[in-house]
Amino acid sequence: MRRWRPRGIVPGLSRLPATGHERVPDPTVDGFVRAATRLVARLGAGGQLLVLVAEDDAPDLTALVAALAAQATVPFFGGVFPAVIEGTRQHARGGLVVWLPASGAPRVVSGLDRDTIQIPAMAGRQGGATALVLVDGLARSLASFLEALYDRLGNTVAYWGGGAGSLRSGPRPCVFTEAGVFQDAAIVALVPAAASLGVRHGWTKLVGPLVATRTSGNEIQELNWERALDVYRAAVAADCGREITEEGFFEVAKGYPFGLQKQGAEDVVRDPIAVGPAGSLRCVGDVPENAVLSILKGVPEQLVAAAGAAAAAARAVGAPSRLSLVADCVSRAIFLEDRFAEELEAMDAARGDGASQIGMLTLGEISSQGNGYLELFNKTAVVASVPTDEHVVTGSE
């Protein structure tokens, strides 16, 4: 099988830009500012900073933005996530600051709670580019946003990113740039090099096809012309060996998501998270009416293997990469529990290029799946290898 080649990078002809990062162990504004300053001192002011903040004891974001705006001399953007990833470890406290080359300043797209979304003027770049996309993972109109973003940039860039926010504390401002902290918004930052991408989840089909005969946005009201909950319950009960109650729904459902068919790729996962009125099922992400669905089942070994496959698929061909960005679904961590460490190890090992693996646990993942339609994924691992010769790690050892 052919791999997705980074577009426009001719090895040996152009010097690739360096990248760098620093882990911030203590969740203080000061810690983030110091990491940012050190990175800029090492790598210069010609880039941008991706600031990933872990949820536990997170510093006040407004204060963080003010301090960074005052002291960092480069544009920055970021968000709060359930955890950050460095190497094969996840951290629910502290965070990461990542130095990346920049193509223009990060753009804020607001109004993700509305139906029509205005994307500011942006253009891909001759020679390839990657759009890093952070969204408020709990915003209502994510599908419309991604549709509008793809309409604007098309295949001229590779897309990598995911949803910020907290499952614990619900909707609130969670993404930021030097312009402020935003809720119902997205941030798009362009890196002037085309990353190569890998997208996998490893959930396998249990039941299907089923037709979502009545839906509304992210709510499935009917499956096969019957109450969605009844159909789902009947399909899953045999496999899980438990009664599915409305209260205990999430406990069971986290292991049995829906899959939307996608040609040439795994199904796109739609996570049912709650039971709505009249036995409807509420999902993360929209389900179009008449969509043909499967019910998927998670087997830990297969999930771990799939994450590895995603990393392997993203391994740059032709251009070296010293930086591997990972957006991994928080629900995978919840499902795999202690075995989630195996997933991070599998990714690091499968790539086998010794690149620094950096990223976060997300509420929904974003990728162009190596070209094609831009979509929001659930329960998926999205890996981007950024072409680079050198990756600097600063901070006290």
Partner 1 sequence: MTDPLDQRRTLADIALLFELSLAAGTSIDLQTNCRRFVTSLMARKNLDLAQIWLRADATEDRGAAGPATDALPYHLAFAAPTAHVGVTTLGADHPLLARVREERAFRVAPDAAEVAALLGGGGLTRGTCAVFPLPPRGFLVLHASHEDVLAEAREVRQLEAVTAKLAISIEGCLAHAQAMREIAERRKAETERALAQEQLHHAQKMDAVGRLAGGVAHDFNNLLTSILGCAEILERDAEGDDQRALLELVVGAARNAADLTGQLLAFSRAAPLDVHPVPLDALVAQVGALLERTVDPQISVELDLRLGADVAVLGDESRLQSAFLNLGLNARDAIRGAGQITIRSDRVDLDEEACRRHGGEVSPGAFARVRVTDTGVGMDPQTRSRIFEPFFSTKQTGRGTGLGLAAVYGSVSSHGGVITVQSRPGDGASFEVLLPITDSPRAIEGDDVALTGQGAILVIEDDEQVRMVVERMCARLGYQVAVTASGEEGLAALDAARPDVVLLDVRMPGMGGHETLARIRERDAELPVIVVSGFVEEPELDAMRRLGTAGFLQKPVALAELSRALRAALGDSSPR
Q: How far apart are CA 330 and CA 363, in angstroms?
A: 6
Q: Binder to partner 1 among 11, 44, 87, 288 (CB under 8 A)?
A: 288
Apex 201 CA angle, 92 and 267, nearest 5? 140
Nearer to partner 1, 358 or 366 (CB): 366
Binding to partner 1 in span 194-213, by CB under 8 A = 209, 211
Q: How far apart are CA 128 and CA 180, in angstroms?
A: 29
Q: How far is the CB of 215 from partner 1 (least distance, A)?
A: 12
State the DSSP string of 121-183.
Answer: P----TT--EEEEEEETT-TTHHHHHHHHHHHHGGGSEEEEEEES-TTT-S---EEETTEEES
Cβ partners under 8 Å of residue 372, min gap 6: none
Binding to partner 1 in span 291-320, by CB under 8 A = 291-292
Q: How far is the CB of 48 from partner 1 (least distance, A)?
A: 23
Q: Binder to partner 1 among 44, 46, 87, 154 (CB under 8 A)?
A: 154
Q: Is the peptide bond before 209 cis (omega within 30 degrees of 0)?
A: yes
Per-residue binder mask for partner 1 (CB under 8 A), 156-175, x = binder: x-------------------
Within a 10 A sphere around the Cβ of 269, how many other Cβ atoms?
26
Q: How far is the CB of 131 from partner 1 (least distance, A)?
A: 12
Nearer to partner 1, 233 or 262 (CB): 262
Q: Binder to partner 1 among 30, 57, 60, 151 (CB under 8 A)?
A: 151
Radius of gyration of the chain (CA): 20
Cβ partners under 8 Å of residue 60, min gap 6: 29
Q: How far apart are CA 350 and CA 108, in angstroms?
A: 35
Binding to partner 1 in span 319-378, by CB under 8 A = 369-373, 375
Q: How far is the CB of 199 from partner 1 (least distance, A)?
A: 11
Q: How many residues bind partner 1 (CB under 8 A)?
A: 32
Q: Which of 149, 44, 26, 31 is nearest to 93 (CA)?
A: 26
Q: Does 147 bind partner 1 (CB under 8 A)?
A: yes
Per-residue binder mask for partner 1 (CB under 8 A), 249-278, x = binder: -----------xxxxxx--x----------
Nearer to partner 1, 110 or 261 (CB): 261
Binding to partner 1 in span 60-119, by CB under 8 A = none
Q: How far is the CB of 264 from partner 1 (least distance, A)?
A: 4
379, burial (CB in 10 Å: exposed 0-12, middle 13-18, buried 19+): buried
Binding residues for partner 1, rule: CB under 8 A, are: 2, 7, 124, 126, 147, 150-156, 209, 211, 260-265, 268, 288-292, 369-373, 375
